[in-house]
Amino acid sequence: MKSKIPVVLTIAGSDSGGGAGIQADLRTFAFHCVHGASALTCVTAQNTVAVNRVDGLPPQAVVAQLDAVVDDLGVQAVKTGMLLNAEIIQAVSDRLQTLQLRPLVVDPVMVSRSGAQLIDRQAVETLQQALIPQATVVTPNRYEAQLLTGVEINSLEKMEEAAETLKWQSGVQAVLIKGGGMTGELRGVDVLLDDQGMVVLKTECIDTGNTHGTGCTLSAAIAANLATGHSIRDAVHQGKNYVTEALKWSLEIGQGTGPVGHFFPLCLN
């Protein structure tokens, strides 16, 4: 039996512990019944406690993977995760621009849950100038949004201000500020700003320490939903619901911050 399903490409880093990065993206794509393709940017020696080492690939190697996928498989949506340095970001941005690969979800990964810096400092500027303006949706967490906008985020109003600033600064279609790093009632509350205006996304706050890979999972789910024809709003709403369920079924693996459970309904034993 032949089956035709959308292809979604993730351009991101490998997490040896399997909780975030390419590994989380591919599991999320599989759950959403889209075919996951990948262009690796770097290999991290990482577990639930720390990132011990990062080895980047040459920018040409990243672009070659992207081209190989696009030339043959065709791609219905793309997401970017850990891009490591300005050279990779520039090379990927140039190729995405030339090929007009859209929809594009940009997760501006900068710092890991364990506090490790995941991107060079000068890379933030390249991200802002070359990649984010091309995005259909950009999904910074609290700290990434602060770095990108200069707005200190400590309230819902400040999340909204940062969303406005980032949308205005970059011309991106939609901004999703994620609230996993907020405290009190705002933990797990996100703010979405698109062409229709601002919405506050609130699901249950899940009481778990195992939140490794939530951002990767959310951006991958949004890309999968866009690939299957959902509107931006719908793709984000459904992505938020998915990550909430995955958090409910998060995994007690490792000594530190464990990963979310991507296949929750199938793991009943």
Ligand X SMILES: Cc1ncc(COP(=O)(O)O)c(N)n1
Separation CA 164–CA 223 (nearest Å): 22
Q: Is 267 a catalytic residue?
A: no
User: Between 113 and 167, whose beta carbon lies closer to ligand X?
Assistant: 113
Cβ proximity to ligand X, 7 vs 51, nearer residue: 51
Q: Mutual orientation of helices 21-31 and 214-227 as an angle, nearest 10°?
A: 40
Query: Is 215 known to be catalytic?
Result: yes
**Residue 214 annotated to the active site:** yes
Residue 24: CB minimum distance to ligand ATP, A: 8
Report the 10 Å Cβ neighbour count for 142: 21
Q: Which residue out of 21, 181, 188, 215 is catalytically annotated?
A: 215
Query: Following DSSP, what letter does each residue of 207-227 receive, concatenated?
Result: --S--BTHHHHHHHHHHHHHH
Picked from ligand ATP, ligand X, none, the partner binding residue 240 (CB below 5 to 8 A depending on kind) is ligand ATP
Read off the tokens for 228: 């299957």
* Shortest distance (Å) from residue 19 CB to ligand ATP: 9
What is the secondary structure of 67-105 as a DSSP string? HHHHHHT--SEEEE---BSHHHHHHHHHHHHHHT--SEE
Choose between 181 and 194: whose C-beta lies nearer to ligand X. 181
Residue 86 interface partner, choices ligand ATP, ligand X, none, CB cut-off 5-8 Å depending on type: none
Active site residue 211: yes
Q: In whole angstroms, what is the distance from residue 180 CA to residue 182 CA?
A: 6
CB of 39 to ligand ATP, least distance (A): 19
Token pair, residue 179, equals 């609230």
Nearer to ligand ATP, 21 or 36 (CB): 21
Tell me whether residue 229 is one of the annotated catalytic residues.
Answer: no
Q: Which residue of the chain is nearest ligand X when measured via CB?
A: 21
Q: What is the nearest approach in angstroms of ligand ATP to the Cβ of residue 139?
A: 7
Token code pair at residue 178: 């994620």
Catalytic residues: 178, 211, 213-216
